[in-house]
Amino acid sequence: MAGTTGRDSDKFMLRLPAGMRERIKASAEENNRSMNAEIVHALDFYFAFDNLGPSDENGTAPLDPPQAVRTSDDASKVAAAMARRYQRDLELAMIRMLREEADE
């Protein structure tokens, strides 16, 4: 998990698409965090998946539990994100296979 943020932390100007600020604000309020803390939490959650690799031959994935997982709701989000990642990996593998077949 990222360290605390304060006046001496790095600052980064960001342009958000229409409606994103309101979504961040609503999520922050729901989670009793500032908008900044909500964004840092979301980025922490996103980068936690760098530790996920493709499934091994047994269908299990090497997983270091993301630091962002604190509640069962977070765990549900992790499971959904993992499913999306593996679906993407499967789709890419299928595309490679189809391209190889087309080249033969």
Q: What is the pLDDT of residues 47-64, one digit of tens each?
A: 766 555 554 454 444 444
Number of domains in the chain: 1
Q: pTM score, two decimals?
A: 0.48
The answer as to whether 58 is a domain residue is: yes
- Give 55-88 pLDDT, tens digit per residue: 445 444 444 455 555 566 667 777 777 777 778 7
Which residues constitute the domain of residue 59? Answer: 20-103
Determine the pLDDT at residue 79: 76
The answer as to whether 50 is a domain residue is: yes
Determine the pLDDT at residue 18: 93
The answer as to whether 45 is a domain residue is: yes
The answer as to whether 81 is a domain residue is: yes
Is it the case that residue 94 has pLDDT exceeding 50?
Answer: yes
C-alpha separations of 1 from 29, 45, 60, 73 in Å: 20, 8, 24, 17
